[in-house]
Amino acid sequence: MKTVLTRSVQEAAQFIRSGGTVAFPTETVYGLGANALNEQAIRKIFEAKQRPVDNPLIAHISSLEQVSELVEEVPATAATLIDAFFPGPLTVVLKRSFRVPSIATAGLDTIGVRMPGNDLAVEFIKASGTPLVAPSANLSGRPSPTTWQAVLEDLNGRIDCILQGEPTDIGLESTVVDCTGDVPIVLRVGAVSIEQLRKVVPGARLLEAEEKIEIRSPGMRHKHYAPSARVVIVGKDAKLESSNAAFIGLSLPFGDILLAKACDSAEEYARSLFAFFRECDREGIETIYCQRVDETGIGAALMDRLRRAEAR
Ligand code: TXA
Ligand code: MG
C-alpha cells in the first residue's frame, strides 16, 4: 500500500469516505482515524498498528451533535465535563450506542468520545462527514507520534494517508474519564489535570491502585509509550554513568551525555518527550535518563508516562 502524504483536508477526507485509514494531527498526539461506523475500516486500524483487539478506540467528533450518534445517553456529570472541556484534551467514556461496531470498543458496552482542540483535526473530521475512531498513530507499544514524520517512521506503507500538520502542542495523550457511574473516575491521566476536573466536578477521582489491576481500561494493561532504550527516572542531583546515555529534564546534570535536552517548563518537557525517545532510538542510545518533575498540572501525566516507559 502506498501512503499518500498531503496537506489537503479534502484529499485526506476522501480516503476516510472510501473506507480507508488516515493519520491526522490533534493537540495531544497524531491519531490514526477511520470511519467510526464502518467495521471494515476500523479493522484496518488494528492491522496497521498491530494493535491487540482487546484495546478499545476513542471516537473523535467535530461537533457536539455527533455525541448522540455514538452514545446511548449523556449523564449530567458527563454533560458538565463536556461543557467545560470540549474541544480539548479530554475523553469521556459513556455507554455505547448499538450503531457503533463492537470491534471499535473491543466489545465493551462503553465508548470514549473526544472533540480535539485543534483546528485542522476538527476541519478534517467535519470534511470526513462522520465521527472517526482514532488511536495514537504509532505501531503498538511505541511512543505516540507528535509529528507527521514520526507517523511515517512507524506506519509508512501500512495506512492510506497522512494529513501533514504541525508538531502537536501538548505531546501527551488525552485524559480519559469514565463517566458511566455516579462519580467521574480518571482512567488515564493527561493534559486535563485532576485539579482542573475537580474545579468543575468536585467528586472526580483517580483510580485506586487496586482498581488499576481490574479491567477498567483494558488498554492500560498493554505496553505503552516505550522506546527501545532503557528509561531511568532520576532526581535533580543525579550522577549519571555516561556511557551511551541521553538525558531529558528541566535542568542539565553534570557529566558527559551524548544527547541532552533541557526544557524550560514541564509543558515543554511533555511536548518534547516522545520525539526525544524516538531520536534516542535512532541514535542507538542505550539508557535515557529522565528527570523527575512535580506531579501537578501536566506533571502528573508526564510522570505517569515516564513510569510506564521505565517499567517496560
Ligand atoms: O489524545 C488521545 O487520546 C489520542 C489522540 C489521537 O486523540 N488517542 C489515544 O488513543 O491516545 P489510544 O488508543 O492510543 O489510547 C486510548 C486509551 C487506551 O488506554 C484505552 O484503553 C482507553 O483510552 N479507552 C478507550 N476506550 C475506552 C473505553 N470504552 N473504556 C475504557 N477505556 C477506554
Ligand atoms: Mg496509544
* CA angle (185 as vertex; 181, 191 as ends), nearest 5: 140
DSSP states of 209-242 = HHHHHTTSSGGGGS--S--SSEEEEE-TT-----
Kindly tell me if the per-residue pLDDT of 26 is higher than 60: yes
Residue 243 has a pLDDT of: 81
Residues 6+ apart with CB under 8 A from 272: 171, 248, 261, 263
Mean pLDDT highest for which of 90-94, 208-212, 248-252?
90-94
Instruction: Please report which confidence band the pLDDT of residue 43 belongs to, taking 50, 70 and 90 as the band edges.
Output: very high
Closest CA to 185 of 160, 157, 214: 214
Who contacts 12 (Cβ-Cβ below 8 Å, separation ≥6)?
6, 22, 24, 124, 127, 161, 163
Distance of CA 207 from the midpoint of ligand 2 (Å): 19
Residue 218 has pLDDT above 60, yes or no: no
User: Strands across the sheet with 245-249, in order?
Assistant: 230-234, 287-291, 245-249, 259-262
Banded model confidence at residue 217, pLDDT cuts 50, 70, 90? low
pLDDT at residue 215 tops 80: no
Atom of ligand 1 nearest to the CA of 31: 6
Pairing state of beta strands 31-35 and 22-24?
Answer: antiparallel
Tens digit of each residue's pLDDT (9 = 90 or more) over 260-275: 999 999 999 999 999 9
pLDDT tens per residue, range 102-121: 999 999 999 999 999 999 99
Centre of ligand 1 from the C-alpha of residue 292, in Å? 25
Question: What local confidence, expressed as pLDDT, does residue 242 receive?
Answer: 66
**Ligand 1 neighbours (beta carbon < 6 A):** 26, 28-29, 31, 55-58, 91, 93, 105, 108, 110-112, 134-136, 173-174, 176, 187-188, 217-220
Q: Which grid coordinates belong to 208? A: 485506586
- pLDDT value at position 253? 84
Ligand nearest to the CA of 143: 2
If you ran DSSP here, which 8-state letter would residue 105 be given? G
User: What pLDDT score does 237 carry?
Assistant: 78
* Cα 256 to ligand 1 centroid, rounded to whole Å: 38
Q: How confident is the model at residue 214 (pLDDT cuts 50, 70, 90)?
A: low
**Closest Cα to atom 3, ligand 1: which residue?**
174
Is 49's pLDDT higher than 80? yes
Confidence at residue 208, expressed as pLDDT on a 0 to 100 scale: 84
pLDDT digits 0-9 by tens, 59-99? 999 999 999 999 999 999 999 999 999 999 999 999 999 99
Q: How far is the CA of 20 from the centre of ligand 2 (A)?
A: 19
